Amino acid sequence: MRKNNYPLAAVAIPLIVLFFTLGVKSMLPVLFLYIIVLPVVLILKMFNVKLEDGLILGLFSSLVIFPFLVYLISKISNFRFGVALSLLIFYITLTALFYSRKKTLRHN
């Protein structure tokens, strides 16, 4: 296995375990959790946090920030929209940070 594939293989472990223990239905919340956590992990990586640390730190910080955003957005609309927009905000932030850092690096 290539060195870079380790984190990917590692995060697949709980998914495989849940598939064999609780069935396919239980995998959906985990997959959704991964989708929520992924941009936070990548944002942390941009700030020089090691990927291995960032996976765990990203997971725990998502547990706080995601429901906070969902709560605020749901106050003016509804829960499902809150979830969708919060997710979008995560990915927009990631994209914006990615391009701003790229620009800074090019400038330097």
Partner 1 sequence: MDKRDLVVILLIYSLALILWSLPIRSSPMPFGDVDSSSHFTQGDYIYQSNRIFDTFPYYIEQSWYKEGGRRYYPPHFYIWEATGQLAGRGEIVSSYTMILLLITLFIVSSYMLMRETLGFYPSLIGSFFLIFSMRDIMVYLWAQWPQQIAFIFLPMVLFSFYKYTAYLEKDKHDAIVYLILTSIFIAGSFSFHPQAFFECLLAVSLFAIIRIIQLKKIIYPVKHAIIAIALVLILTSPFIAGVKSYSEANGMSLSSSLSLTSLLRFYPKPHLSDSPTVFMSSYPMTYAGYWTLPFVILGIILIFLKMRDPKYMVWVVFFLSHLIMIHLKTRQFRFLAEEAHLFFPLFALGVYFIISLKQLRRFRVLLVLLTLSAIFVINGLPAFNTLHNAYSGPMRITPQQYNAALWMRHNLPEKANIGMVGPITLAKQYWIQALAMRNILIKEEERSVHSLKGFYIGPPDYFMVDYSDAILLGNRKLADKLFEFENKTLSGEKLIYNTKEVRIYKLSAINKTSNPGKRK
Per-residue binding string, partner 1, 27-66, x by CB under 8 A, is -xxxxxx----------x--xxxx-xx-xxx-xxx-xxxx
Between 39 and 82, CB nearer to partner 1: 82
Alpha helix segments (H runs only) across 1-108: 6-22, 24-46, 51-76, 79-107
Backbone angles phi, psi at 91, to 5 degrees: -75, -35
Which residue has 């609309």 as its token pair? 77
Give the C-alpha distances (Å, rounded to integers) separating 34 from 31, 42, 89: 5, 12, 16
The yes or no reply on residue 89 touching partner 1 (CB under 8 A) is no
Interacting residue ranges for partner 1, rule: CB under 8 A: 3, 6-7, 9-11, 13-14, 16-18, 21-23, 25-26, 28-33, 44, 47-50, 52-53, 55-57, 59-61, 63-68, 70-72, 74-75, 78-80, 82-83
